[in-house]
Structure 1
């Protein structure tokens, strides 16, 4: 994860998510969920195709750059392992981050999925870097969404609904913290391509489940 990549993503995700918060009052939740379900099925399928490509080619044969004007970034983790990647299709990245941020503000999902599509499929960023970056961007973005939501709840529904939201957070926060510890451990143990396959299957199943219900 690099500061520049996070900064560029948050620059578009935070304003878009705040806009999404206000748009959520005017768009049917059912319509949003259908659009989101179709979107993550598409992303999951693209990740699966990327996994198939990883298995049919050696990693060094897969191009990491898409034009000569992009420099390769090299970062090193705490264990001394080096990751090489480039940021490609910047205009598409801005669009996907903005769309993901808007969906995140409306239905609290969508940003991480579109970020991982951009990072893993389009730019072929190593899975640990892509996942860590998307999680951090979502974490920063959610702060802006929460602040706006709090002001809306106080000015609209009042403290009762805000209290209900707080109770939900009390149960979900420990799960997020535990997952944040398990995730890096799994990434260190699992093959990156296998991790990509797992993410693809989760997205596909989630999308199908949302369409069914």
Structure 2
């Protein structure tokens, strides 16, 4: 095993994670195209045995990347654990089911499904509320405009800011959370892109609390999905089935990138970054589908 083979993934992972943090998207969405489209172009020694192995690495990498963000939100006391629990109890089982099923799926079919998913996510990202819409939702929420939608919640952060809002009906958006968890396990991406706008637009939760709660849901779901992938891969092919010599570069890369992205927050327009990633996801979707028929 050549431990220097994937050295270039350290700066690449740092760049991906920085951009993902600034754009508010899951970095795993960017890694699968790198593993399955770019790696084969570099030479046979860079080939990853299967899309499932690539998904496992992408999920492991994302778990490391979101950990640093989670620690920050825990310190700020911004996570609404009641909301998070209601999402985790349905997202985690569906992610585990998706992880097991991905090992049974046809590799080319997985790539096509991933391409279709990227096109769907591109549409979702491009349809996210603008900065002004987010601000208005937060202002309306804190002013008590949505008292009629459910139970009152109060979150007080470590700086003394109080977020008082009303929790939407627990059943709302349940089906989307199940789908998000399932496709995260199946193809490494989906839960974050679905949960975050759901909490802001549908549940009317203040943006800061929604972002923190989403990160908590994402990390728990991703850890469950990646753990399932690792267990299955090791059961079938031993510890060598996990590309540790790739993870050893992607994991620290996303941790570094997450910290850089956090420090750069506010210096770039998140709205423009989101649109850029929306277009990029569309391109990735077309490229992934095309690769099945060309490569």
**Aligned counterpart for 2:113 among listed residues 29, 32, 37:** 32
Q: Provide, for residues 152-202 of structure 1, a one-character-per-residue CA deviation record: whole Å limited to 9, x for no partner.
A: 11221333222x1x2333222223333444555556x579xx54x256325
Map residues 52-67 of structure 1 onto 2, 5 A cutoff. 54=133, 60-61=139-140
Q: Provide, for residues 124-163 of structure 1, a one-character-per-residue CA deviation record: whole Å limited to 9, x for no partner.
A: 322222222222212112222222222211221333222x
Distance 1:70 1:11 in 2: 20
Change (3 A) 1:156 1:55: closer
Matched, 1:46 2:127: yes
Instruction: Kindly indicate whether the alpha-carbon contact (under 8 Å) linking 1:33 and 1:210 is maintained by their aligned counterparts in 2.
Output: no
Taking structure 2 as the reference length, what is the TM-score of the superposition?
Answer: 0.59
Compute the RMSD of aligned alpha carbons: 3.0
Distance 1:56 1:133 in 2: 18
Change (3 A) 1:58 1:42: closer
Unaligned runs of 5+ in 2: 1-78, 288-295
**Aligned counterpart for 2:282 among listed residues 203, 208, 211:** 208
Offset of residue 56 of structure 1: 10
Taking structure 1 as the reference length, what is the TM-score of the superposition?
Answer: 0.79
Report the secondary structure of 1:124's partner residue: coil
Aligned to 1:4: 82
Instruction: Kindly indicate whether the alpha-carbon contact (under 8 Å) linking 1:65 and 1:86 is maintained by their aligned counterparts in 2.
Output: no
Runs (4+) of structure 1 moved beyond 4 Å? Answer: 55-59, 61-67, 182-187
Distance 2:267 2:238 in 1: 46
Distance 2:93 2:169 in 1: 21
